[in-house]
Amino acid sequence: MKIHRRSAFSLTAAGLIHIAAQSKITLGHDTTKRDPAELLVRQAAERGHTDLGWLKSYHSFSFGGYYDQRHMGFRSLRVINDDKISARRGFPTHPHKDMEIISYVLDGALQHKDSTGQGAIITPDDIQMMSAGTGITHSEYNPSRTESNHFLQIWIQPAMRGVQPRYSDAKVRAADKRNRWKQIVGPDRRQGRVAVYQDANIFATKLDAEQELSYVVERGRHGWLQVARGSLIVNGTQLRPGDAIATSKATHLHVVSEKDTDALLFDLG
């Protein structure tokens, strides 16, 4: 199957944003490698890559100048971008519409400003969510003068279109996700998590080395497990930083950390 790529080095930040915003949003089939337990494996090395010097981004799904029709999304999950932004750089003000946009900071800080008047600086363990709805503009910068940042940007297609734009964020204590699943995103807002207009749940974990966790993906649900850093063995399959597994079958996931690991688990309708 042909994979089309554009030169990422020729893109400006505004150009990258424009291409992504104008891309046709279609759910893909995720024909990735299969393990014997019928888990789909998305390997980090096979992701799309954008390098603008100040921005280094890896794309689990088609985004910007990276297009692969095999990887257009997974259920309502449309984007997982693994981003690193240099000090004092970032994305200038740009528009979005009808998308749930989530930022999860791993290192450093991320400064957000938007057209609803909201502004915040989020740091590791913070979760930030913006419902673009009828239309919103925002900017994202690394406010540090010396340090780069590292965060995951996640887009989820909403079940409702044309809603009033909104912004929210939440602080997730490291202790609450230490060696356990901590829900950070769901259809309703509660303490320590943000809400999206979709049947989508995201759980975070911060595992010490040689720890075990389990999770049951129920019949009719769909699971995606993303390793942000560290390494895991999931049902016998080794996952390294940036790797992911997915399943659309009722599945019991047995997770073992080989080293200190940060991971996100998506439970989708």
Dmax over Cα atoms in the chain, in whole Å?
50
Flag whether pLDDT at 196 surpasses 60: yes
Residues 62-80: tens digit of each pLDDT: 999 999 999 999 999 999 9
Tell me the whole-structure pTM to 2 decimals. 0.87
The CATH H-level (homologous superfamily) assignment of domain 4-268 is: Jelly Rolls (2.60.120.10)
Confidence at residue 4, expressed as pLDDT on a 0 to 100 scale: 35
Q: What percent of the chain has pLDDT over 90?
A: 83
* 193 CB-near residues (< 8 Å, 6+ apart): 127, 170, 172, 183, 184, 185, 186
Which of residues 216 and 22 earns the better pLDDT score?
216
In 3D space, the residue among 49, 52, 71, 67 whose CA is nearest the CA of residue 14 turns out to be: 52
- C-alpha distances out from residue 218 to 49, 241, 248, Å: 33, 26, 9
Q: What is the mean pLDDT of residues 174-198?
A: 93
- pLDDT-derived band at 190, boundaries 50, 70, 90: confident
Q: What is the mean pLDDT of residues 82-109?
A: 97
**Strand pairing class (194-195; 182-186):** parallel
Confidence at residue 7, expressed as pLDDT on a 0 to 100 scale: 33
In 3D space, the residue among 61, 113, 52 whose CA is nearest the CA of residue 85 turns out to be: 52
Confidence at residue 29, expressed as pLDDT on a 0 to 100 scale: 37
Confidence at residue 68, expressed as pLDDT on a 0 to 100 scale: 95
Flag whether pLDDT at 182 surpasses 70: yes
Residues 216-257: tens digit of each pLDDT: 999 999 999 999 999 999 999 999 999 999 999 999 999 999
In 3D space, the residue among 76, 70, 69, 71 whose CA is nearest the CA of residue 58 turns out to be: 71
User: What DSSP string describes 9-55?
Assistant: GG--HHHHHHHHHHS---------EE-TTS-EEE-GGGSEEEE-SSE
Confidence at residue 3, expressed as pLDDT on a 0 to 100 scale: 35
